[in-house]
Structure 1
Amino acid sequence: MSRFSGKTVIITGSSNGIGRSAALIFAKDGAQVTITGRHAERLEETRQHLLKAGVPAGNINSVVADVTESSGQDQIINSTLAKFGKIDILVRVNNAGANLADGTSNTDQPVSLYEKTFKVNFQAVIELTQKTKEHLIKTKGEIVNVSSIVAGPQAHPGYPYYACAKAALDQYTRCTAIDLIQYGVRVNSVSPGVVATGFMNAMGLPDAASQKLYDFMGSKKECVPVGYCGRPEEIANVIVFLADRNLSSYIIGQSIVADGGSTLVMGMQAHDLMGILSQ
């Protein structure tokens, strides 16, 4: 028997990137999955990926919905319960537009952008947690949030609202973990570094420019010491680990950093000091 056989998993933001990879891993390992996103065409691509991997059609619930809207949240939850009868695991992956861009940066970003950014990155998490809580308590389930290394402690002044929303998400993960573990529900999160997904496209960069940026960051040890930008499946594997109680049962309210070493690097450490002295 596969390790997630009989388990029902909701994966938001699963129309591409990390969410799509997580859906594929869960489904291949026996889970019934609800995949959801705003874009029908990309969501259908995810469904086809699962089918080509041998996942039975009956194990896939595809829902086109906006997770930032209450009606969209209800649609995701209600359709999951109607098809599978329960919810065991909630995986909250941000969609590709999570770092909303309007051409402003730093302290010039307007309050309207703050409101939109917090709605998608933080408020939607709160609402989904509240709406799925009773169902997860019944199954003694799992919640895995997807945060980011921009939460700190390093500053990210170019996009402060996104960084602040992720910092808030980290604290919310800790708070909800303590509240829900008394009912047998575990809450954790993963904090990715730079991952090559459609994230930059959603910020307005075309494919070629996005790839150029990823190639540059991956080649600079002061950006990503491991030497390349992360792949979606590498983050998805951490999500699945945190959702697997047999493997991670004693991890409560933590955020696992998966960043290729980015948060370990200080500017002066990024250069060979002995090499400089020998010049």
Structure 2
Amino acid sequence: MLTEKVAVVTGGNRGIGKAIALAFAKQGAKVVINCSAEKSLETANKVVDEIASFGGEAFAVVADVSSFSEAKNLIDASIKKFGKIDILVNNAGITKDGLLLRMSEEDFDDVINVNLKGAFNCIRHAVRPMMKFGGSIINMTSVSGLSGNAGQVNYSSAKAGLVGMTKATAREFAKKKIRVNAIAPGFIETDMTHGLNDEVKNEIAKTIPLKRMGSVEEVANVALFLASDLSSYITGETIRVDGGMIM
């Protein structure tokens, strides 16, 4: 499905990003696994090794995408290694939750810089080389950006901004055959949710029509669809993967 395609996945060393990287590699893509710091390189290289174990090709790049120059280094390294970029997944993200009256300016800025500006930085540097062949950009937003969430003014703002960025860039680059879409996950089983006890998980499940949390693989399947030619007439769209939570 993605044979000979080159994909860059930010935050690809764990969680949803890792699942997307593995799904792409299993479909023939060469994958760049981005992590934000040297301390995360070990986990990124484990993903590279896992991809190699089934015959795929990948390598890891340390870059803090909230930095304009480091995002450029990520894209430059990807092109130097594989010669092109066909797919960009802006998955890198952080949370620093808190009620607005207690939220520091630093906590607001940090979340905006990674989740929103980080996506801008990567798109800004990736689109020019992508123009030659066209491609697919996938922004990982959240249901928090669609409905809002108390205690997440910074995160909801950043993720809502990604929806607008998706639509604006989709319009700008459609003529260059670059499609831009977003995925809005709901409650997904990740390392963060593994720490929740069963009672909390059951209460969460009650708010979801499908009565369960989603898996990272279910999100990755949607990313695979958006990255492939199966979605060749879809751009500017945000697809919820939330079990019907905010329909």
Regarding TM over 0.5, the answer is yes
Note the aligned Cα RMSD (angstroms): 1.7
2:111 counterpart of 1:117: yes
Q: In structure 1, how many angstroms separate the alpha carbons of the residues matched to 2:218 and 2:242?
A: 10
Contact in 2 for aligned 1:217/1:224 (Cα 8 Å): no
Corresponding residue of 2:82: 84
TM-score, with structure 1 as normaliser: 0.82
Question: Within 5 A, what are the aligned runs for 1:165-184?
Answer: 165-184=158-177
Q: In structure 1, how many angstroms separate the alpha carbons of the residues matched to 2:67 and 2:20?
A: 23
User: Which structure would you say has the larger Rg?
Assistant: 1
Corresponding residue of 1:216: 200
1:196 to 173, 189, 192: 189
Corresponding residue of 2:48: 47
Q: In structure 1, how many angstroms separate the alpha carbons of the residues matched to 2:148 and 2:8?
A: 32
Contact in 1 for aligned 2:7/2:32 (Cα 8 Å): yes
Corresponding residue of 1:260: 243
Q: In structure 1, how many angstroms separate the alpha carbons of the residues matched to 2:74 and 2:205?
A: 41
1:107 to 73, 79, 101: 101
- The Cα of 1:66 is off from its aligned counterpart by 1.8
1:167-225 alpha-carbon deviations (Å, 9 max, x no partner)? 1110110011001101111000100001111345xxxxxx5xx2317x63355554222
Q: In structure 1, how many angstroms separate the alpha carbons of the residues matched to 2:196 and 2:49?
A: 25
Aligned in 2, Cα 1:16/1:146: closer, same or farther, shift over 3 Å? same
1:216-271 alpha-carbon deviations (Å, 9 max, x no partner)? 335555422212211111101101101112x111211000001011113xxxxxxx
- The Cα of 1:74 is off from its aligned counterpart by 2.3
Contact in 2 for aligned 1:219/1:228 (Cα 8 Å): no
Q: In structure 2, how many angstroms separate the alpha carbons of the residues matched to 1:183 and 1:14?
A: 26
Q: In structure 2, how many angstroms separate the alpha carbons of the residues matched to 1:87 and 1:218?
A: 42
Q: In structure 2, how many angstroms separate the alpha carbons of the residues matched to 1:74 and 1:218?
A: 43
- The Cα of 1:156 is off from its aligned counterpart by 1.1
1:1-57 alpha-carbon deviations (Å, 9 max, x no partner)? xx21111100111110111111111111111110111311211221222123x134x
Q: In structure 1, how many angstroms separate the alpha carbons of the residues matched to 2:221 and 2:14?
A: 15
Q: In structure 2, how many angstroms separate the alpha carbons of the residues matched to 1:227 and 1:219?
A: 10
TM-score, with structure 2 as normaliser: 0.92
Q: In structure 2, how many angstroms separate the alpha carbons of the residues matched to 1:171 and 1:220?
A: 28
Aligned residue pairs: how many? 244
Contact in 2 for aligned 1:217/1:223 (Cα 8 Å): no
Q: In structure 2, how many angstroms separate the alpha carbons of the residues matched to 1:32 and 1:48?
A: 13
Instruction: Could you tell me which runs of 5 or more consecutive residues in structure 2 were left unpaired when the two chains were aligned.
Output: none
Aligned in 2, Cα 1:14/1:220: closer, same or farther, shift over 3 Å? closer
1:94-128 alpha-carbon deviations (Å, 9 max, x no partner)? 24xx1124xx4233212221111100010011111
Q: In structure 1, how many angstroms separate the alpha carbons of the residues matched to 2:174 and 2:191?
A: 34
- The Cα of 1:148 is off from its aligned counterpart by 0.2
Corresponding residue of 1:227: 211
Q: In structure 2, how many angstroms separate the alpha carbons of the residues matched to 1:78 and 1:198?
A: 31
2:18 counterpart of 1:20: yes
- Counterpart amino acid of residue 55 in structure 1: G
Instruction: Could you tell me which runs of 5 or more consecutive residues in structure 1 were left unpaired when the two chains were aligned.
Output: 201-206, 265-279
Aligned in 2, Cα 1:220/1:124: closer, same or farther, shift over 3 Å? closer
1:31 to 16, 29, 40: 29
Contact in 1 for aligned 2:72/2:121 (Cα 8 Å): no
Contact in 1 for aligned 2:67/2:121 (Cα 8 Å): no
- Which is further off, 168-177 or 76-85? 76-85
